[in-house]
Structure 1
Amino acid sequence: MRLGKAMGHRWLAATAAAALAVTLGAAACSSDDDSSSDGARPPARAPPPLPLPHPAIPNGDLIVKHEGWLEAALPGTKITWTKFDSGGDVNTAVIAGSVDIGLAGSSPVTRGLSAPLNIPYQVAWIHDVIGPAESLVVRNDAGITDVAGLAGKKIGTPFASTAHYSLLAALEEAGVAQSAVTLVDLEPPDILAAWTRGDIDAAYVWSPTLDELKKTGTVLTDSAKLAAAGYPTFDLGVVTKKFAEAYPDALAEWLRQQDKAVKLIDSDPAKASAAIAAELNITPDEALAQTKGLVFLTGDEQLGAEYFGTPAAPGKFADGLLGAAEFLKTQAAIDAVPTLDTLRAGLGVEDLDSAFSG
């Protein structure tokens, strides 16, 4: 099954666990002030500890981390940032009760909202729409010029990630049976190591690991092309329903800081790229090039009909999740396809609308 083409963009990342200790404090108070995310509004209260997993992805989340905006907005909160390699790590940590907010790709999030996982979280934010920043690359010495040529080869990708989802879609589009290739479950750092050793012939992965592979490899297809073929993917911000209900002001502040980062990418790409570069230990020019492989949406844009919509007028985003779930069911990645109503209930539309409409 294909995703609805109207969604036309990205869904993201993968699997394995990292545990962070967290003790939730008292419920937060709410603030009715509707000033902007540039620091003018009074600080919201939140639990004293707030562990935040982040991946090595060149998007606004790294800007928020580097600039310390969330720490400034929530001065009473001890915020701990920890690097996670994939969205599967986030799923596992949420299930373990270790984190309440995290970034995961649309594929692991769809799995999380489906049986057997049924994770009690909701999609609160679209960090980015995946384009060429996530690609299928083959070694130059493999002598392969198209996806069909991968039959009989070893391909590395983080299982249960958007890259894995896109790889399966690419093979299907090329008429290559999954059984005709050897898929190897590897996190991005392990993909680079396996590539260097010559243990794999190809990989579907995201930047910045992708950029290293491209130095000795050739891109066969990417997530922008697969989105156009009906397989869009996204990097999504998820929050547990427990946290959203207990700390609505803290969640709203987190959303506003993410929106602030997206606006900085658009208004001052040099400053945004410098912040991302510092977090990824790459040059600003490299960071700028990587951000161009993604599409970033402001909060207002996410409330449009193409994405979340509003509480009164649901958008098309849940329909895209349904298409992804149908595809994942054909791959035996989930037990059953959830209903459209179930997926709509998994979107934090009211929280997003409240954060940007006052």
Structure 2
Amino acid sequence: MSRVSPGPSRRLLLAGALATVSAAVTGCSSDSSAASSGGSRQLRIGYFAFPSGDLIVKRRKLLEQALPGYKISWIKFDSGAGVNQAFIGKSLDIAALGSSPFARGVSGSSPVPYKVAFILDVAGENEALVARKQTGITDVAGLKGRTIATPFASTSHYSLLAALEQAGLKASDVKLIDLQPQPILAAWQRGDIDAAYVRLPTLDELRQTGTQLTSSKEIGAAGKPTLDLAVVSDELIARAPKVIDTWRSVQAQALRLLKSDPDGAVEDVSAELGISTADAKAQLAQGVFRTPEQVTSADWLGTDGSPGKLLTYVTDTAQFLAGQNQIDAAPSEAVVRKAFYLKGLPDVLK
């Protein structure tokens, strides 16, 4: 079983992710064979097998069509810790990344060399805390002394810590297990764990024999929202800023397609995840997808020269993680601001 720890440091989390990242970058996804090669005319894109506009971009090859001169590799990851390590190893150009691992990444004396450039979605009912029905647990407070699994250094981990705090529990009051989604399902089925905080599609499988105790939607409404962001490497910003504009443009197109072509979006997600269209539709309905105009509003990412509330969300997340001894110290808002790449917004989305 994976390691147990009430409060891993960022250094340990990144080191622990090294093996996972190495596997991911060299072939975790069937279409990632070119990921480890260099070259200015290639893009290495990190993504999650999770219902979002990212899967629409991938399935419809929107980026390939917009950048015909580039060799584009899509590399699948299971957690934000792996994405962070891959950027440190200069193995990614662009990637999806949760707001909590992003807050970790911009903390410390050697921040990860990337910047947030877009918001993909806001966590809703698609990420939640579920207890096995056999335990008889019906609320978060009932988890005291129990074993809970979650991918460390992820948005699920952050939301779990927030849920425990809201219920009057400390991380030390429970036994936290660091597991990725598929191992969580296996541990659940064996009865090795009492509860898990995880996202779709694993979450839906746990719900079949579990009781949902809270969700990221509820935790966000209580003041600790989590989001899936798009981050870009500092090297790509220096080398090809127009490519980043194109990336954001196709992501904006995907967000519009979620509204204008919901049936087509369901088909895309169904094909990418290998699930039925009914399941894909249900999973998409649990997410919160903003329009491109909302993404660049003052309530979220903001625009060039005027960052939005995401700046406060990330700063607050880092402060919470520091208070939970998950990172050594929280960065100031000014430091977090330096990790925002807003040039060209909102015009490049039109």
What is the TM-score when the length of structure 1 is the normalising length?
0.87
More helix by share: 2
CA–CA distance in structure 1, aligned partners of residues 110 and 194 of structure 2? 32
Q: Does 1:87 align with 2:90?
A: no
CA–CA distance in structure 2, aligned partners of residues 356 and 222 of structure 1? 31
Q: Does 1:267 align with 2:260?
A: yes
Identity of aligned residues (%): 48
CA–CA distance in structure 2, aligned partners of residues 299 and 348 of structure 1? 16
Q: Does 1:200 align with 2:193?
A: yes
Shift of the alpha carbon at 1:179?
1.2
Residue identity opposite 1:235 in structure 2: D
1:83-105 CA distance string (max 9 Å, x none): 11011111000000111111110
Q: Does 1:108 align with 2:101?
A: yes
1:135 corresponds in structure 2 to 128
SS at match of 1:332: coil
1:86-134 CA distance string (max 9 Å, x none): 1111100000011111111000000001115411210011110001100
Counterpart contact for 2:257–2:265, Cα < 8 Å? yes
Counterpart contact for 1:56–1:83, Cα < 8 Å? yes
SS at match of 1:336: coil
Given the alignment, which residue of 157, 160, 167 partners 1:164? Answer: 157
Residue identity opposite 1:53 in structure 2: G
Shift of the alpha carbon at 1:286?
1.0
CA–CA distance in structure 2, aligned partners of residues 237 and 188 of structure 1? 21
1:251 corresponds in structure 2 to 244
Which segments of 5 or more consecutive residues in structure 1 lack a partner in the other structure? 1-13, 26-46
- 1:115-134 matches, within 5 Å, as 115-134=108-127
Counterpart contact for 1:53–1:102, Cα < 8 Å? yes
Given the alignment, which residue of 307, 317, 325 partners 2:300? Answer: 307
1:18 corresponds in structure 2 to 21
CA–CA distance in structure 2, aligned partners of residues 312 and 182 of structure 1? 44
CA–CA distance in structure 1, aligned partners of residues 140 and 52 of structure 2? 28
Given the alignment, which residue of 179, 191, 198 partners 2:184? Answer: 191
SS at match of 1:350: coil
Counterpart contact for 2:125–2:287, Cα < 8 Å? yes
Which segments of 5 or more consecutive residues in structure 2 lack a partner in the other structure? 1-13, 26-34
Given the alignment, which residue of 96, 113, 124 partners 2:89? Answer: 96
Q: Does 1:52 align with 2:45?
A: yes
CA–CA distance in structure 2, aligned partners of residues 227 and 139 of structure 1? 23
2:271 corresponds in structure 1 to 278
Residue identity opposite 2:96 in structure 1: L
Residue identity opposite 1:104 in structure 2: L
1:214 corresponds in structure 2 to 207
Counterpart contact for 1:106–1:235, Cα < 8 Å? yes
Residue identity opposite 2:127 in structure 1: E
- 1:325-344 matches, within 5 Å, as 325-344=318-337
2:70 corresponds in structure 1 to 77
Counterpart contact for 2:126–2:203, Cα < 8 Å? yes
SS at match of 2:308: coil
CA–CA distance in structure 2, aligned partners of residues 224 and 280 of structure 1? 23
CA–CA distance in structure 2, aligned partners of residues 351 and 141 of structure 1? 53
Shift of the alpha carbon at 1:208?
0.3
CA–CA distance in structure 2, aligned partners of residues 238 and 268 of structure 1? 26
Given the alignment, which residue of 242, 247, 252 partners 2:235? Answer: 242
Two-structure CA RMSD over aligned residues (Å): 1.5
Q: Does 1:352 align with 2:345?
A: yes
Counterpart contact for 2:94–2:233, Cα < 8 Å? yes
| Pairs aligned (count) | 323
Residue identity opposite 2:345 in structure 1: L
SS at match of 1:349: coil
Shift of the alpha carbon at 1:309?
1.9
SS at match of 1:218: strand
Counterpart contact for 2:252–2:349, Cα < 8 Å? no
